[in-house]
Amino acid sequence: MTKNVGTLIPSALPSIQTRFTCGYHPDTPKNPANNPIPSTQSIIPNYSIPKNILPCKKNYTRLSCVKSVKRILYGLVLFAISIIVLNFGVEAAPPEQVHLATNGIPGEMIVQWGTEEDTSAFCSSENNVQYGIRESDLNQTKSGNSDMYLWTTCTHTVTLTELTLNTTYYYRVGGGDEWSDVFSFNTLSEEPEKITIGAIADHGTSSNAQETTSNMEKEIFDLVIHAGDISYANGAGSGNGIGDQSVWDEYQNQIEGLTSKYPHMYAPGNHEEDSEPYGFDAYESRFYTPGTNAFWYSFEFEFIHFVSISSEHDYEPGSSQYTWLKNDLEDANNNRENVPWVVVFAHRPMYSSNGDGDGHGSEIEFREAMEGLLYEYQVDLAVWGHDHHYERTYPVFEEQVYSNNSGSASEPYYKPGATIHIVAGNAGRSIYDGLEEPKPIWSAYREISYGYTMFEATKTSINYKFIRNSDGSIGDEFWIINTIDTEKPIIIPNENNNSVNKTEDDGIVEQIKELNHMSAPLTILVIATTAIFNLNFRKKTV
């Protein structure tokens, strides 16, 4: 705003001067009865706006002008008084919608919750978290701030810092007479051997969505990422085109058992954008995002550099999002030694064989704009939503498959040279039944059923799974290994795709799986020894 002031004044000044026709120039007589008000042009050559003269409508007398100003002042005073009275009359509301987020710092946790206020103008509830390592003794208190948008839900945010690692913390939120139940979360250990990430999208409040939530509550996560279309408030059918904001409250209460325990990080979907006046306000107000932009941001979570981007905003080369992503991925790729994996998540899929049409399937424009960055900086995984089924691609770039290994434990991907894409839009919103036929060459596995995805990551491996809601069985599973650079990027001819392409290193895979449970230095030592042994063995057998 400040930047625009200088450019606005010159063009705005003439209209301002016209509006000052009934005001007084210091040099004009001050008796309106005897001195009709001259035109602006006649009294104000080179006129500059005097600060003590207020604008009023053209051809007003001085008396009516003064009355008009008085009315405005009275109005302002009454408005201020009514606001103060209202504010004093409003009591704090009970906390609900408790949810956690992360800024990537292991000893910190972002705690957020909502309160249903009487108006959308004021948040009268307090912003405190009481916490401690014993449920019966919440002996520490931290305060934060709150935010509202054009809705009565106030979102409170408190950042807990200097937490002890590998510790269970108990906490409650609120203040005064209004406190939540006591919840708990675990901090990461100092050097965890592995971390577990949940990954979903297109959730909502349906019975299938609730089933996904309750199934996920049985798992143990360190973090959950959500690739957009969160509550479906804007599809709630209020008939007025602006959705139903109360669906956000319903959703966030429904998922509180999960979000109060594990930090959740989101990417914006098309259903996060409501009609005016809301736009993306609910998304921005209700969820913490690190950095200065809620729509594209990154954070490091132990072994993984997570990047959340937006398929709902400008992503073309030259856009701020594109430039930001390029810089962020370049930095992340240069930091692989410390943070070996890079995972991107956003809403619309670059690859999807959903055949439902109407804006679904592969998001070609998005892919053409940004896939090059994923390839250039060797993003390992990309998690999308939008299409309501599960799908996993082979490592792929520009529709060319870079490895057609199965990805199974006996045939994992070894730094395959291109990104593996996941569609995880089957968390609860009505499932799609149309898949493109024949299956595209880049599609490794797809399934039409509800469920959730999750993956375990160590410094040297990622083990990704799709879990079905129906019976808890594993619908799909694959491995990526990054310690042995044996799988050179290759483009497999289309006609050969999906044929058996056995890796030569089956014997090493099982060892790697065992080694993933060992410490990193020991892992490297044993892998190096194994590689030397294999090399010698091959030399002898050739």
Judged by the rule CB under 5 A, the positions of this chain that interact with Fe ion are: 229, 269-270, 386
| 255 contact partners, CB below 8 Å, separation of at least 6 | 99, 203, 213
The Cα 381–Cα 452 span in angstroms is 16
The Cα 163–Cα 172 span in angstroms is 16
* CB closer to Fe ion out of 159 and 270: 270
> Which residue has its beta carbon closest to Fe ion?
386
* CB closer to Fe ion out of 175 and 228: 228
Least distance (Å) between residue 348 CB and Fe ion: 7
The Cα 215–Cα 213 span in angstroms is 5
Strands 451-457 and 183-186: unpaired
Least distance (Å) between residue 201 CB and Fe ion: 8
Least distance (Å) between residue 432 CB and Fe ion: 11
Measured in residues, the chain has a length of 542
Least distance (Å) between residue 54 CB and Fe ion: 50
Least distance (Å) between residue 22 CB and Fe ion: 55
* CB closer to Fe ion out of 255 and 329: 255
* CB closer to Fe ion out of 99 and 386: 386
Least distance (Å) between residue 388 CB and Fe ion: 9
* CB closer to Fe ion out of 261 and 429: 429
Helix or strand run (H / E) with residue 457: strand 451-457
Least distance (Å) between residue 359 CB and Fe ion: 8
* CB closer to Fe ion out of 24 and 432: 432
* CB closer to Fe ion out of 269 and 451: 269
Record the tokens describing residue 352, joined without a space: 């999807």
Q: What is the DSSP string of 299-366?
A: EEETTEEEEE--TTS--STTSHHHHHHHHHHHHHHTTTTTS-EEEEE-SS-SS--B---SS-S--HHH
Least distance (Å) between residue 425 CB and Fe ion: 7
* CB closer to Fe ion out of 409 and 448: 448
| 428 contact partners, CB below 8 Å, separation of at least 6 | 202, 203, 204, 205, 206, 208, 209, 210, 211, 212, 450
Helices (H) and strands (E) in the chain, counts: 11, 25
Nearest to 476 by CA among 391, 396, 398: 391
Least distance (Å) between residue 311 CB and Fe ion: 9
Packing angle, helices 506-515 and 520-541, rounded to 10 = 170
For 127, the 3-state DSSP assignment is coil
Q: What is the DSSP string of 267-292?
A: ---GGG-PSTTTTTHHHHHHS--SSS
The Cα 228–Cα 360 span in angstroms is 14
* CB closer to Fe ion out of 386 and 459: 386
> For 73-139, where are the E strands, in sequence order?
95-101, 109-116, 128-132
Q: What is the DSSP string of 9-30?
A: HHHHHHHHHHHTTTS--TTS-S
* CB closer to Fe ion out of 50 and 237: 237
Least distance (Å) between residue 209 CB and Fe ion: 14
